[in-house]
């Protein structure tokens, strides 16, 4: 069974509906869903804040490339446009980790090459998997330790909302 950690984000259109579309598409493959967090944009492009969440899912039928295609298909359905690097987007679905696979393939670098630097990925992941670890520099590092290594203002900028992706 392939287990994947997905980081999802949106700041265009109806961001909450865009995030919910991922949960809906996953259906019973969802293992865990984080709370929804509001975060300032990353990368220096002027734009509105994002809604972000992290999901864990499992599926016997999908390998890591299958998960990549799954995410890209959802982005396409949400009319994702890739005009500006780190720019606004209707939906971003990143494969953060897939069964602990390490790959330098330019099409699918695993784990996600900047996940260990991004509080908006690590905070929600830690919420749903407190003992999570991510391979960094060839060795597994506990996500809680990665979070502690980030600038405190970046971590504080990941604000939990009252919004939910699934019914209580």
Of the listed 29, 89, 97, 118, which one is catalytic? Answer: 89
- Please confirm, yes or no, whether 92 is among the known catalytic residues: yes
The three-state secondary structure class of 23 is helix
- Please confirm, yes or no, whether 94 is among the known catalytic residues: yes
Of the listed 94, 118, 131, 151, which one is catalytic? Answer: 94
- Please confirm, yes or no, whether 29 is among the known catalytic residues: no
Of the listed 20, 80, 97, 118, which one is catalytic? Answer: 80
Cα 1 to Cα 12: distance, rounded to the nearest angstrom: 34
Of the listed 3, 29, 85, 92, which one is catalytic? Answer: 92
- By annotation, the residues acting in catalysis are 80, 89, 92, 94
């Amino acid at each position: 069974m392939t287990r994947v950690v997905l980081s999802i984000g949106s700041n265009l259109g109806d961001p909450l509906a865009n995030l919910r579309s991922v949960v809906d598409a996953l259906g019973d493959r969802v293992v865990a869903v984080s709370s929804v967090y509001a975060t300032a944009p990353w990368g220096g492009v002027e734009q509105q804040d994002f809604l972000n969440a992290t999901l864990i899912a499992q599926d016997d039928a999908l390998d890591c490339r299958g998960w990549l295609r799954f995410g890209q298909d959802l982005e396409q359905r949400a009319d994702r446009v890739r005009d500006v690097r780190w720019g606004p987007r209707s939906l971003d679905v990143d494969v953060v980790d897939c069964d602990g696979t390490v790959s330098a393939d330019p099409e699918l670098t695993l784990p996600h090459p900047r996940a260990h630097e991004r509080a908006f990925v690590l905070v929600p992941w830690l919420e749903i998997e407190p003992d999570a670890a991510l391979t960094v520099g060839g060795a597994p590092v506990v996500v809680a330790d990665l979070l502690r290594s980030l600038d405190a203002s970046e971590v504080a900028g990941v604000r939990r909302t009252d919004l939910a992706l699934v019914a209580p």
